[in-house]
C-alpha cells in the first residue's frame, strides 16, 4: 500500500513539474510574440551596388512602426522575394534582437555582354541574362547567340565563347557569334581600337524579350 502511494505521489510530482515547465515555455513564447520590445523597428540592407534599396524594401514588405513582431516574420519568404530581383544572386535574412531585420544581398557580377534580338545585355558566370546597367564597363567582344530562358544552352555557349577568347585573344575582335549548331565565327574590329562595350548599354535600355520587368 505504501509503495503504491509513493508511486502515486511521484507521478503527481512529475506531472506538476511537466505542467510548470510547459507553462514557463508557453509564457515565454507568448511574451516574445506579443511584447512591444520585439517589434520590428529597423530594416538594414547590406551588399548593394547596382540594386536599388527601395526595390529591396518593396520586396521585404515589412512595417517598422511597431506593428510587426520580429519572430512572426517569415524569413524564408522574405529571402525568396528579394531573390526575385534580377540582379540579386542570393540573399540572407536574419533577426537581430530586439527589433532589427538584416538583409544581406549578394549581387550578380556581369562577366560579358551579349546581343539578343538586336539589344545588348550583360550576363554572369551562371548564364543569367541581365537587363542593361549603365555602370557595366566590360571591354570584351560581344557574344551573339544566347537566348532568354535557355540557361543550359547559354552556359555551353559561354564556355565556347571563353575558349575562343583564350585561343584567339580578345584584342581586335568586336563580336563572337555562335549559331544554333554551335558553330563559332568572329567579327574583327575595323580599326583595331575597340571602345568599351559598356558604352553601348546606354542606348540599349530595353526589357528582356519574353521576360517581365522586375517592378511588375
Is the bond leading into 111 cis (omega within 30 degrees of zero)?
Answer: no
Residues 49 and 91 in one domain: yes
- Residue 93 belongs to a domain with what CATH number? 3.10.20.310
**123 shares a domain with 140:** yes
What is the number of structural domains in the chain? 2
SS (H, E, C) 66-104: CCCEHHHCCHHHHHHHHCCCCCEEEEEEEEECCCEEEEE
Tens place of pLDDT per residue across the chain (216 aa): 667 666 667 777 677 777 777 666 665 555 566 678 889 999 999 999 999 999 999 999 888 877 789 998 999 999 999 999 999 999 999 999 999 999 999 999 999 999 999 999 999 999 999 988 877 888 899 999 999 889 999 999 999 999 999 999 998 899 999 999 999 999 998 744 444 444 444 334 344 555 444 443
Tell whether 88 and 124 lie within a shared domain: no
- Name the pTM for this structure: 0.73
The pLDDT of residue 144 is 96
Which residue stretches of 128-169 are H helix? 151-168
- The residue range of the domain holding 115 is 110-201
Residues 99 and 122 in one domain: no
Name the 3-class secondary structure at 30: helix
d(CA 112, CA 193): 18
- The pLDDT score that the predictor gives to residue 202 is 39
Amino acid at each position: 500500500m505504501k509503495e503504491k502511494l509513493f508511486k502515486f505521489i511521484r507521478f503527481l510530482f512529475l506531472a506538476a513539474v511537466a505542467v510548470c515547465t510547459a507553462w514557463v515555455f508557453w509564457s515565454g513564447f507568448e511574451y516574445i510574440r506579443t511584447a512591444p520590445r520585439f517589434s520590428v523597428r529597423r530594416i538594414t540592407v547590406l551588399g548593394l551596388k547596382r540594386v536599388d534599396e527601395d526595390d529591396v524594401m518593396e520586396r521585404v514588405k515589412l512595417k517598422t512602426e511597431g506593428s510587426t513582431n520580429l519572430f512572426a516574420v517569415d524569413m524564408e519568404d522574405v529571402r525568396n522575394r528579394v531573390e526575385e530581383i534580377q540582379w540579386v544572386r542570393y540573399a540572407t535574412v536574419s533577426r537581430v534582437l530586439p527589433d532589427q531585420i538584416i538583409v544581406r544581398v549578394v549581387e550578380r557580377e556581369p562577366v560579358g555582354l551579349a546581343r539578343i534580338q538586336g539589344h545588348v545585355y550583360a550576363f554572369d558566370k551562371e548564364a543569367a541574362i541581365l537587363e542593361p546597367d549603365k555602370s557595366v564597363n566590360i571591354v570584351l567582344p560581344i557574344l551573339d547567340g544566347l537566348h532568354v530562358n535557355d540557361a543550359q544552352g547559354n552556359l555551353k555557349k559561354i564556355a565556347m565563347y571563353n575558349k575562343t577568347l583564350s585561343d584567339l585573344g580578345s584584342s581586335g575582335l568586336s563580336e563572337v557569334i555562335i549559331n544554333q549548331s554551335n558553330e563559332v565565327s568572329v567579327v574583327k574590329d575595323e580599326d583595331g581600337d575597340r571602345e568599351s562595350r559598356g558604352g553601348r548599354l546606354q542606348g540599349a535600355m530595353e526589357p528582356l524579350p519574353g521576360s517581365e520587368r522586375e517592378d511588375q
